[in-house]
Structure 1
């Protein structure tokens, strides 16, 4: 065991290790029993009968699901494209030295962060008579952009104050200090929180079915409530849920890839190595002769 790990807690002895193995075995058996019970219940309720799975063989159903998935990705893409600039703008506003700008930005961020997302989507869709896609994207941008603004602000403030002062000492302006000193150092700390919020935004696109936006969940709902296929609710869940999980895992993988690339980048590792100083004896060249 490493010194760093042992400094945090005492290394478990043989009896503690045996208890940990027993707890792990009991937990694995409990999960296996739960999974077995779930499979038995699905068979008892006839969820694996051919009638409930026949729908997925038809080309029209497959095209409906693919069209819904494409609409989900479209809404998510627009949300990311607009939410990140929104977050950067209002994070900069909250960090502004001008009191009026700081207070207005803070009021906007706190209002949309506290407002329920579904209420914003319905308000934009009903009161402003927006298109379903526009209403969904606008609600997602306002909410997730406000949350991301706080993430960006907290990441910048987490950088040691000496970095900011060093930038000013080199004659940089505030925007240069922010762009070249603070933000690059805060990126690594902010990236997990940014990706987590983007995963939330991806899952929240499913709220679009409440305003008749034909996204992936809406397509699944149309299939699940179809009497011709025996109301295949559970089979639809078993098809739709893994797709959402896979998309979220893909975002997490992308975040890890970007983080590894950032660690290998010369900009984050530092510049060229500096040669060690050597002791020089004797008089300087100007003093000789």
Structure 2
């Protein structure tokens, strides 16, 4: 009997009927909500052609949405790389055996998890220049803020993933002569990243959306250029916001699909069923076969 059949009972006739009825009711309620939203916007004249016409002109995409989207993706990609590095380093630091490393790492992670991201970006842009006696660009104010906040959240995700790995994995590494750093780098962190992949992807999606907070320091991302500046020229703030939201949804859907593909690929590589061979000189009494080790 498979594990799935033990953990999951297929619904009976009544349960299937109930599920169909609930699905129909939910679908009708959703359609009613969408129709209500459409009618309210229609009464306000938000579906008029003059408000949507700018999106058919190349100038809108080359001067407003295109450059803003590139800035958003650039800031998000930089923040993702730095956040992952920050998360791994501080997760390992919080698991250190040395108190002088474990306690400061914990203080840093908890502090930046507690500070609102918008306040952090604001302080980096307006407060740090007083400390370094020089300006901070809007790009780096956004990226550093995203790195500190999301990296702290990812540090906790990595730490939870490392702790969830059975202790035998570490013991096997120590048994073959590995040091703790090697065990962490070669055994624990890769498995933790695979186990926590859904959480990591969810946080990276949040990071991508949080680039919109850069408007507070006039960073020319999708919200600032693609909504505020565009609507200031054409007076179509609702239409511009809908287009920007659609772009965010498409990008996040692609990121989620990529993560799903990566998860399936790593699972196929990481969990292979051993081939069963019957070696004449190694077959125990009773005809049992011995699993051939995988290379």
Q: Which residue of 2 aligns with 1:193?
A: 199
Provide structure 1 residue ranges, at least 5 long, that are not aligned to the other structure: 281-289
Secondary structure of the 2:46 match is coil
- Deviation per residue, 1:193-213 (Å, 9 max, x gap): 111110000000000111100
Cα displacement (A) at 1:55:
2.1
- Deviation per residue, 1:140-180 (Å, 9 max, x gap): 00001111111111111110111111211111111121122
Cα displacement (A) at 1:19:
2.8
Q: Which residue of 2 aligns with 1:96?
A: 96
Cα displacement (A) at 1:224:
2.0
Q: Which residue of 1 aligns with 2:264?
A: 260
Distance 1:271 1:96, change over 3 A: farther
Question: 2 CA distance for matches of 1:261 and 1:14?
Answer: 37
Q: Which residue of 2 aligns with 1:168?
A: 174
Cα displacement (A) at 1:278:
0.7
Secondary structure of the 2:128 match is coil
Cα displacement (A) at 1:184:
2.7
- Deviation per residue, 1:82-138 (Å, 9 max, x gap): 111111111111111111100011111111111111111000100123111110111
User: Is 2:209 the counterpart of 1:207?
Assistant: no
Question: 2 CA distance for matches of 1:34 and 1:149?
Answer: 39
Q: Which residue of 1 aligns with 2:230?
A: 223
Distance 1:5 1:84, change over 3 A: closer
Question: 1 CA distance for matches of 2:261 and 2:283?
Answer: 40
- Higher radius of gyration, 1 or 2: 1
Aligned residues: 275
TM-score normalized by the length of structure 1: 0.88
Q: Pick the aligned partner of 2:190 from 184, 191, 202.
A: 184
Q: Which residue of 2 aligns with 1:239?
A: 243
- Deviation per residue, 1:223-256 (Å, 9 max, x gap): 2233xx3x21221122110100111111111111
User: Is 2:86 the counterpart of 1:86?
Assistant: yes
Secondary structure of the 1:151 match is helix
TM-score normalized by the length of structure 2: 0.86
Q: Which residue of 2 aligns with 1:286?
A: none
Cα displacement (A) at 1:65:
0.7
Distance 1:173 1:234, change over 3 A: same
Q: Which residue of 1 aligns with 2:123?
A: 123
Distance 1:3 1:80, change over 3 A: closer
Cα displacement (A) at 1:262:
0.7
For 1:1-80, list aligned pairs within 5 A. Answer: 7-8=6-7, 12-63=11-62, 64-80=64-80
User: Is 2:132 the counterpart of 1:133?
Assistant: no
Provide structure 2 residue ranges, at least 5 long, that are not aligned to the other structure: 130-135, 286-295
Question: 2 CA distance for matches of 1:279 and 1:10?
Answer: 38
Distance 1:54 1:271, change over 3 A: closer
RMSD: 2.2
